[in-house]
Structure 1
């Protein structure tokens, strides 16, 4: 049986992080699933790739020998996939934009108009991606560019342009005791059940739970949600409250749900992201169109 590239990808991430938890977050998978795949790879190769104990993870000699070869194979495969995808996109004249939430703010409509002026015959295709992948398909190569809320896993390996900086608000049922206030302090929300993004969203999950403002107190999780529709259904059911951007409070306004500014949280950032190695002129044209639409 041949080794799957997925197994090599899991191995490389674990070898580079030397921490199964961080590697799982980087790969957008659960830690048990990652551990299972590593064990299967070791069984297939009939070697131990890692030495594990309660304090540390280290490569064995066979693991150290496999690492450069695995990196080279993955690099070659990724380059081949991108070449095929770029050729297909150019032939079809389609640019795919990944999204995790509605964007509104007039950005996409304005960008489409400006982009098609420069690229007549091209189509901008929007692809909605659940929050299991906080990069909205960019890391997996499923989209050409993505509109993301920062921070996201692996953002140091992307090009980013911040399009909007907005205050954070909190959405809740309209019968909540804090509903109707002009603003609230985050301290008033500490004991509330929060709706959380999936664990694979990594730092983005922590950001929307405002973990850095809790002084080490664990957040109460009322439910885990994977997209905007699940989020607002959970609010309506009384499962919890959720932080969101000011602009998204307007986009998702609906009966039974209200949103209030949180006075003492840092603002959030909406960014356009694209791969650092993607130098196609069409990408630059879309970036320019989106920046001009937001100016």
Structure 2
């Protein structure tokens, strides 16, 4: 039995090139080395293994029986090495990469975003987290077209089967009204009180999300009256002040539009809204996406355990959803 030291990956790569080309000059050109250097390396490998791998004669270069036996194993080793190197490169790229987080409305909610960022960057200190504001015409906040890796969005999502998400807040839908509106004098409203009012609507491209904020499901088949279309918080505030209509708003977003001249009121008969961190299903095992989502779940769970009455977690349902 011949004892050998371990062959280097380079030796196997040289052996494979000669075995496939069956020509030392062509193999040397393929490897970007000189032909004498390649021949020297092959001889060294043969000495190391204690056997001849190639026959060289006037007819050319041929594999010996030992060379033929080594060939499939050399291929497997080199394939495995290539896959391993790619995996290491992917990890390195992830460590030094950028994670894009989309949003159509700032999460706010008691420091949610800084808390998630802090947990995430502890695990990935070299990764840049870039926030990307997206208009309300894209209810996926950049997920659908690939512009964002994850996104803070409202349910329901168009094409929900394409996404998974974790719920970060569940909040009642309030009615936002001009302060001069007759219904503003009431402390609480029934949705029936609002059903005939003109509503501010998201752009048609928002699809099922537009329907949700128009409360289409609660209208018993009656179409809503659309007073104006809105595509951002400032437009919403201006349209309310101008008396173009009323709208529904999540409780956590009420401070964004009650800046003077606008009030919000609780509404009976409406299901709550759900604010989620979502990602594309196929990205669920990407290290950065997975770890950012984990950080969000940990922050949400920590807030729920704290149980602060004025916290954004006060009415939270914690879940990861794979619809």
Q: TM-score range by the shorter chain?
A: 0.5 to 0.7
Q: Gaps spanning 5+ residues in structure 1: where? A: 1-85
Task: Considering Cα pairs closer than 8 Å and 6+ residues apart, tell me whether 1 or 2 has the greater RCO.
Answer: 1
Match of 1:186 in 2: 191
**Cα distance in 1 between the residues matched to 2:160 and 2:92:** 26
Q: Which runs of 4+ in 1 moved over 4 A?
A: 86-89
Q: 1:91 to 1:292 in 2, by over 3 A?
A: closer
**Cα distance in 1 between the residues matched to 2:265 and 2:92:** 45
2:220 aligned with 1:238: no
Post-superposition CA distance 1:74-133 (Å, at most 9, x none): xxxxxxxxxxxx999748622111101121112111101111111112222111111111
**Cα distance in 1 between the residues matched to 2:182 and 2:148:** 42
Q: Which one of the candidate residues 271, 279, 285 is aligned to 2:276?
A: 271
Tell whether the 8 Å contact from 2:96 to 2:126 is kept in structure 1 after alignment.
Answer: no
Q: Which one of the candidate residues 252, 262, 265 is aligned to 1:257?
A: 262
Post-superposition CA distance 1:112-169 (Å, at most 9, x none): 1111111112222111111111111101000000111000210111112111111110
Q: 1:87 to 1:144 in 2, by over 3 A?
A: farther
Q: 1:208 to 1:87 in 2, by over 3 A?
A: farther
Q: How does 1:35-50 map to 2 (within 5 A)?
A: none
Q: Which one of the candidate residues 98, 102, 106 is aligned to 2:102?
A: 98
Q: 1:193 to 1:121 in 2, by over 3 A?
A: same
Q: Gaps spanning 5+ residues in structure 2: where? A: 1-89, 302-323
Match of 2:51 in 1: none
Q: Which one of the candidate residues 270, 279, 285 is aligned to 2:291?
A: 285
Deviates more, 1:163-172 or 1:117-126: 117-126
**Cα distance in 2 between the residues matched to 1:108 and 1:187:** 36
Q: Which one of the candidate residues 212, 236, 242 is aligned to 1:207?
A: 212
TM-score by length of 1: 0.68
Q: How does 1:48-63 map to 2 (within 5 A)?
A: none
CA RMSD of aligned residues (A): 1.9
Larger Rg: 2
The aligned length equals 210
Q: 1:213 to 1:161 in 2, by over 3 A?
A: same
